[in-house]
Structure formats: structure tokens, C-alpha cells
Amino acid sequence: MSAYTDDEIARRQIRVGELAMLRMTKAQIAKQLGVSFSLVRSDCEAMELNIPDGIHRKPVRTAPVTQHGTITGYAAHYKRQEQPCEECKQARREYLAQRKAS
């Protein structure tokens, strides 16, 4: 059994539709109406509304590798989950050998 009456659901869905027309995201609508994000998502699915979630995930850093042939260049490859170039692999080998020697 739902915690909401049919009348309450209908009024909320109408309001969700109105706010969606104002180009609000699901997250903004949920905050505005004081309901959960999942409830707004369910309402949007029921009404076949395709609006953005408004939930932002941390972007992946995509700084270009500018120091090839250095340990910093190797770290940048690693951070970007790329296969390091030969120059950066060599720099890492030298760095590790130097650390081991000291």
C-alpha cells in the first residue's frame, strides 16, 4: 500500500511536469517538492518524461601529458589509465633504480 493517496500522487505528478517544463532537473524538482529523488524519478518514468537527473559525478581529470620521459609523465599516464610511452617507462625504471640505490 502506498503512503500517498491517488489524489496526492496526481497533484505531485502534475507539479513534477510543471517544474520539468521550467527545465529543472530531477534533483532540483525533488528538492523543490521536498520528496526523494527516487520518487521524482518514478513519477517521470510513469509520465514518460525524459529529463536530466541533475546528479553530477566528479569528472575524470584529462590534463594532457606534457612531460614525456619523466616520472611526472609516467604518473600522468597512470592517472589517465593509459599505457605509458617508452620514454616515460624508461624514466620510471631509472627513478625506481635510483630509489633502490639510495
Quick one: CA dihedral 21, 24, 27, 33, positive or negative? negative
How far apart CA 44 and CA 62 sit, in angstroms, is 34
Residues in the chain where the model's pLDDT stays below 50: none
- Phi then psi for residue 26, to 5 deg, are -60, -40
**Residue 57: its pLDDT value, please?**
62
**Residue 64: its pLDDT value, please?**
66
**Residue 4: its pLDDT value, please?**
85
Residues 92/67, Cβ–Cβ less than 8 Å: no
Burial class (CB in 10 A: 0-12, 13-18, 19+), 30: buried
